[in-house]
Amino acid sequence: MATSPPNTTQHFTPRPKKWVETPDHDWNDWQWQLKHRISDLETILQILQLTPEEKAGLNSDHRFRVDITPYFMSLIDADNPNCPIRRQVIPLGRELLAFEGMEVDSLEEDQHSPVPGLVHRYPDRVLMLVTTHCASYCRYCTRSRMVGDPKASVNKQGIDLQIEYLQNTPQVRDVLISGGDPLTLSTTFLNYVLSRLRAVPHIEIIRIGSRVPIFLPQRITDELCNMLRRYHPLWLNVHINHPKEITPEASNALAKLVDAGIPLGNQSVLLAGINDSLAIQKELVHTLVINRIRPYYLYQCDLVKGSGHFRTPIAKGIEIMEGLRGHTSGYAVPTYVVDAPGGGGKIPIAPQYLLSQGVHQVALRNYEGYITVYQEPENYFSFNQEAPLPETTGVSSLLSGHQKHIKPENFDQAHDRKMNIKDKTVTSG
């Protein structure tokens, strides 16, 4: 059951026996937490009762990196292999199995990277990868091809090269800082990145994507918050998949960020056996809202290597959205999206509420199955006569008058019905 976020900073979550004697000043030190992350089978066996498949996953030479903060490990049910926290960070042997549609870089980020570490897929915004390190590593990581790889680390020169690109690209107004996890960087280095971005006149919004408030709430210090608040407008999206992740410690960390004037959104991933349930999703969004976090995206799991056993049918996501829309507050309903393979970007998926569209009438269905007709205006004139933006593409280009049609590749050749008599000899009998 959701509760109001606590106002104190004392220790709340019981620790496994391994850390019962750890002094509070160590346990609450984010750098101590990072230094004592758990990754090997022998240490994990001291804390959890592992299944044979978990042992196989941890023993694999080809597994994606494992690192778990002691704090996040303390949230795991030691005797339940289906614990939703455990499933997200402990590898299974089936993680190594190939599946239909699997890709190493399923979103083709590397194909949209004009300089190393910067992805420019959308016209007015970019993704800036500033580190390859995370506090802990999710087993379904979209960027497992590079995240956790020390050889792919980002240095100051790499950041400067990204900033140079942004300085020369005036259409970019929104920058998302991600990685890896930006909040694992030192406060000094993160301050350098933010100050360089704020010095670019055409950048309006800076966003940070981070799971640190969940994996490592000790990192959200007063020093960090005081630094971040200097760079408003600054937004932060956290990554929370299950209500169990929102502990009193996490609530305190999230409250510090909100109190520093930073709007929080949440991006979660629909994961089989973890949160593919309407009841869990409703509890999650309600707990988020209580903690002043706006549910932002619910992602369909990407087609990335290692994620096959986490995937659900899209129908399951639509079913969940059907059970949220109208059944809870609108601001508690995230947008369900598929991040399209091949670099197509985020495509929103929703139940169908528009049933039919006729002449000046639209038939609509509500969340209860109530069907009505909305009468459209018979005489409509837009007073906005501004010229469409030149970069209008896709269906918008048709509606703006830039194009009369959109043709698939080789469409004209496929529909050329003319008889090509070149190099042919016509005879009569």
Q: Is 105 a catalytic residue?
A: no
Residue 134 marked in a binding site = yes
Distance CA 57, CA 370 (A): 49
- Active-site residue, from 63, 71, 138, 336: 138
Q: Examine the residue annotation and report whether 301 is marked as an active-site residue of this protein.
A: no
Q: Tell me phi and psi for residue 39, to 5 degrees.
A: -140, -20
Give the whole-angstrom CA distance, residue 334 versus residue 288.
11
Which one is catalytic: 15, 18, 121, 292? 121
From 71, 141, 181, 336, active-site residue? 141
**What is the rounded CA–CA span in Å between residue 57 and residue 37?**
18
Catalytic residue among 181, 302, 305, 311: 302
Nearest CA to 132 out of 151, 118, 119 is that of 151
Quote the distance between the C-alpha of residue 349 and its chain's center: 16
Examine the residue annotation and report whether 424 is marked as an active-site residue of this protein: no
Is 339 designated active site?
Answer: yes
Whether residue 121 lies in the annotated active site: yes
| Helix segments in 265-386, DSSP class H | 278-290, 314-324
321 to 209, 291, 337: CA distances (angstroms): 24, 21, 11
Q: Are strands 205-210 and 234-238 parallel, antiparallel or unpaired?
A: parallel
141 labeled binding residue: yes
Dihedral angle, C-alpha 418, 419, 420, 425, nearest 10 °: -160
Active-site hit among 37, 83, 87, 134: 134
Q: Is 141 a catalytic residue?
A: yes
Is 83 annotated as belonging to a binding site?
no
Contact 310, 271 (CB under 8 A): yes
Q: Is 134 a catalytic residue?
A: yes
CB 324 within 8 A of CB 285: yes
Question: Does residue 225 have an active-site annotation?
Answer: no
The b/e string for 138-150 (b: 16+ C-beta within 10 A; e otherwise) is bbbbbbbbbbbee
Known binding residues for [4Fe-4S] cluster: 134, 138, 141
Known binding residues: 134, 138, 141
Q: Which residues are catalytic?
A: 121-122, 125, 134, 138, 141, 143, 302, 339, 346
